[in-house]
Amino acid sequence: MTNNYQLVRLNNGICSVRSLVDAETFHPVVGPVAEAEGLYVHQLRLRERLQNHSGEFVIWDVGLGAAANALAVLRGTRDIDCQLRLVSFDHTLEPLKFALQHSVELGYFGGYENHASELLQKNCAVFQNGKQTVSWEFHLGDFPALLAGSKLHNAKCFPAPHAILFDAYSPKKNPAMWTLPLFTNLFQRLDPQRACAMPTYSRSTILRVTLLLAGFFVGVGHATGEKEETTIAANTLELIAEPLDRRWLERAKRSHSAEPMTESVYRIAPLSAGSWEKLQAHPQFAP
């Protein structure tokens, strides 16, 4: 049993997992189930999109962690007749191993323990989940390096996603996962003919500017836990209910923390003249 993780009980009494090495608690406010369902399943309108989709529906799960997000997707859509391909990424499987050892206390594995165990052992699991056929695969490694390299550009092995669950550690702890090059590479992996949305828990100005400059359309995301807003990005405005407007753009111009990080070093800075010019030219803010 790893000593790098521990169970913690949140203020609402729900158990979650804490990384002792990174000093980060997974889903720290409302817990794994509520956050995953609200931030990802509902906000991505997965049930509606799956019901109206033919063929394979691809979800990239960036930051597998203890698998709460992936399992929320499986639980929340199991009654829909579809083909689901779930592609999980992380630099370690230790959180999932720990979570499986404490599945009873965590409470969100119900019925999926065997599939998660198979994923651990084989890096893939194919199974029937209610009415849907699921192919769940795991890729171990540094996600920024994977994106920057050629491996993820193999469309056969890594088909472009219809949805992305983006759940990396905070920028202070893991700046490499929040840089402009990373999101630019991620946007370039999307298929322009395949609508794709990506929610994440942050509402920071620097994140939203970074996503816009990477090429995404960006909007206000659903509230979750103590956060009044989160963020949702997409390659089409049709998947964003509340796009950021020019009033937000003016606030970003005045912010002390808006210039994207270009390297894996956390820092804050106001918008540069070049970034401001590019933001104004973004089609989202066209008159």
Query: What pTM was computed for the model?
Result: 0.95
Helices (H), 43-89: 46-51, 68-77
Question: What local confidence, expressed as pLDDT, does residue 1 receive?
Answer: 43
Directed axis angle between helix 246-254 and helix 273-280, to 10°? Answer: 180
Map out the domains of the chain with their CATH numbers: 29-285 (3.40.50.150)
CA dihedral 218, 164, 76, 49 (to 10 degrees): 70
pLDDT in tens, 188-215: 999 999 999 999 999 999 999 999 999 9
Asked if the model's pLDDT at residue 152 lies above 60, the reply is: yes
Using the predicted structure, report yes or no on whether residue 127 has a pLDDT greater than 60: yes
Residues 6+ away with beta carbon under 8 Å from 27: 16, 34, 35, 36, 68
d(CA 28, CA 17): 9
